């Protein structure tokens, strides 16, 4: 049971970290590769 709780805690912290960095990552990708719309569409899939 403790292992499951630890995994959930890690997952929640990871999600919070991604949520904070997601806007920066998207802005970076759109700025560096504005024509690579495929990356923009794949990014949310990778995050989930």
How much is the average pLDDT of 27-44? 65
In this prediction, residue 35 has a pLDDT band, given cuts at 50, 70 and 90, of: low
Q: What is the pLDDT of residue 14?
A: 84
- Residue extents of the structural domains in the chain: 20-48
Whole-Å CA distances, 30 to 6, 24, 37, 45: 35, 10, 8, 16
Short-list 30, 32, 31, 18, CA closest to 41: 30
């Amino acid at each position: 049971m403790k292992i499951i709780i630890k995994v959930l805690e890690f997952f929640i912290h990871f999600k919070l970290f991604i949520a904070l960095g997601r806007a920066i990552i998207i802005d970076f990708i759109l700025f560096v590769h504005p024509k690579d719309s495929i990356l923009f569409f794949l990014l949310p899939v990778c995050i989930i």
